[in-house]
Chain A
Amino acid sequence: MKLKVTGIVCAMAVLILSFLIPNLSAAQTPAAVLTGKVMASSGRVVSNAKVTVKNVETGKSAETLTNPDGVYTFTNLAPGEYEVSVTNEALGAKTAKAILTAGQQQTLDLMLAPATQEPLPNAPSLGDLGFTPQQSEPDAKLQAMLEKRTEMLKIHQRLGLIAAAPMAAALITGPMAKAKGKNGQTITEPTTANLDFHAALGGATAALYFTSAYYSIFAPKVPETPKHGAIRMHEALAFIHVPGMIITPALGIMAYKQENAGEKVHGLASAHGTVAWITAAAYGTSIVAVSWPIHWKLWEK
């Protein structure tokens, strides 16, 4: 009797184990994770979109909503092939496939694009808006002119900025190139080298300046474009620095000759330095006028 009971218990144990063992083995398979972001075709994330995953083999499905960052996550999925679909009322639906591997996280971003909708039969067209042909018709000639203008003004800008360097150096070396009278006598300092160096800087400045000016003056002018804004100040200041850039070298040559003759610079030539400084100030202001960071409001913290 005792043996019979033991036999029944053993049989039941075997039966129970036979049920448990496959389940245990299934429970031991590490789950997979599927995550991703749902975006509209504009690149904007889509929140509250319904995302559904369906195991292709078993037909089991689960669903979730994307969070405010457009992210969805499914944890604890069995490995296998899945059909992932996302739906949004405004943006329509999208379906994609994903194969999940045990214990791994797979990322699948989905992009929603609205289905191309047929316009209403009587939807307005551009012709209904009443623009003139001048406003709405293409002008290839004008485009070519604008491209040439931009190209020339870029060169103008680059050369103009480069010219500022020898100009500053010429201003700095100016006093070193100036002969100083001492007790009524003319002395021969500075050296010829100082004078020549200063003259070379002035020459380089003038060359760069006038080349830059050429690209500005001869850049194509766009008709019917009244000028306004910082460009007006930039151009107005040219009325100071252009004559200045002509007069300064002329006075410089006079001063150079006087210095070389062992004379103290006198007459009109003595204005060389002053004119140079005024010219440089107008030139610097002209550059700042079109390049100052207009959003920097120094008076605000």
Chain B
Amino acid sequence: MKRILLALLLAAPPVLAQPDAQWVAEQSTLTYHMSHPMHQVDGVSHAAKGKGICHAGQCDFLVAAPVKSFDSGDTNRDLHMIEATRGAQFPMVVVRAHFPQAETGSAAIYVDIEVQFAGQTAHYAHLPFERSAQGDRLTIRGTVPATCSDFKIDRPSFLTVPIKNEIPVRVEITWRPM
């Protein structure tokens, strides 16, 4: 009897335990959009890194990018952006996403997001992201409806006219299993 129990105990972990699903960001594109009556600017970063884990029906993903990695096509504007967003003092934009594991299989994922940027934290609930799969790679696309006021950023102005408060950030990240 003891032998049977011992055999069951040894056999149980691989059978019963659900292995955690882990993901790592393979490619990323984050694009912020800034609007001014005289300028429409997109700042792009491909430097984001990320990791994610799904466990017990829930997924936690973390994505981060250096603020200075965003390129709007003009050095002067990028340096001004870093200054306005306190990017040297708070050099990383960090995004934590939480969503049910069941959604990883559906075409649309609704994600709760926490964004740390410019020394502030903002929450965006139930954001829709589009999911597509190619082989074992998953690509997630969506937009975070960020605003300057969410992060207490004084809106930069040009010719005394400030930029719009809305600075939506388009996210496209391809994940591969670890």
| Interface of A toward B, CB cutoff 8 Å | 40-44, 46, 88, 90-91, 112-114, 117, 119-126, 128-131, 135-140, 142-143, 145-147, 149-150, 153, 222, 225-231, 234, 290-291, 293-295
Which chain B residue has the least Cβ–Cβ distance from A148? B83
* Contacting residues, chain A, for B39 (C-beta < 8 A): 293-295
CB distance from B125 to the nearest CB of A (A): 4
The 8 Å CB contact of B60, one of A120, A131, A147, A150, is: A120
Q: Which residues of B contact A222 (CB under 8 A)?
A: 79
| Interface residues on chain B, number (Cβ under 8 Å) | 50
- When chains A and B are docked, how far (Å) is the Cα of A124 from the Cα of B76? 34
A122 near B55 with CB under 8 A, answer: yes
B92 touches A136 (CB 8 A): yes
Contact B66 A291 (CB under 8 A): no
Q: In the complex the two chains form, is A128's CB within 8 Å of B112's CB?
A: no
Is B44 among interface residues, defined by CB-CB distance under 8 A? no
Asked if B112 and A136 make an inter-chain contact with CB atoms under 8 angstroms apart, the answer reads no
B50 and A137: CB pair below 8 A?
no
B83 in contact with A229 (CB, 8 Å): no
Q: What residues on B are CB-neighbors of A150 within 8 Å?
A: 80, 83-84
CB contacts (< 8 Å) of A139 on chain B: these are 88-89, 91
Interface residues of A: mostly helix, strand, loop or mixed?
loop
> Which among B64, B90, B110 is the interface contact of A138 at CB below 8 angstroms?
B90
Q: Determine if A112 and B64 form an interchain contact, defined as CB atoms under 8 angstroms apart.
A: no
- Chain B residue contacts of A91, Cβ below 8 A: 125-126
Q: How far is the CB of B36 from chain A (nearest CB, A)?
A: 9
| Chain B 72-86 interface 0/1 with A at a Cβ cutoff of 8 Å (1 = within) | 111111011011101
Are B110 and A90 in contact, with the CB atoms below 8 A?
A: yes
B60 to chain A, nearest CB (A): 4
Which B residues fall within an 8 A CB radius of A?
20, 37-41, 49-53, 55-56, 58, 60-62, 64, 66, 72-77, 79-80, 82-84, 86-92, 94, 96, 98, 110, 112, 123-127, 145, 158-159
Find out whether the CB atom of A124 lies under 8 angstroms from the CB atom of B53.
Answer: yes
Q: Is the CB of A228 within 8 A of B145?
A: no
What residue of chain B has the Cβ atom nearest to residue A138's Cβ?
B89
Contacts of A123 on B, CB cut-off 8 Å? 53, 60, 62
Nearest CB in chain B: distance from A124 CB, A: 4
Besides the contacts A90-B110, A126-B64, what 9 more A-B pairs have beta carbons closer than 8 Å? A40-B125, A42-B127, A120-B58, A123-B60, A131-B66, A143-B83, A143-B87, A143-B88, A225-B75
State the Cβ distance, B148 to closest chain A Cβ, in Å. 14
CB–CB B88/A140 < 8 A: yes
Q: What's the minimum C-beta distance from A125 to chain B, rounded to whole angstroms?
A: 7
Question: Which residues of chain A are within 8 angstroms of B87 by Cβ–Cβ distance?
Answer: 143, 146
Closest B residue, CB atoms, query A137: B91
A251 to chain B, nearest CB (A): 32
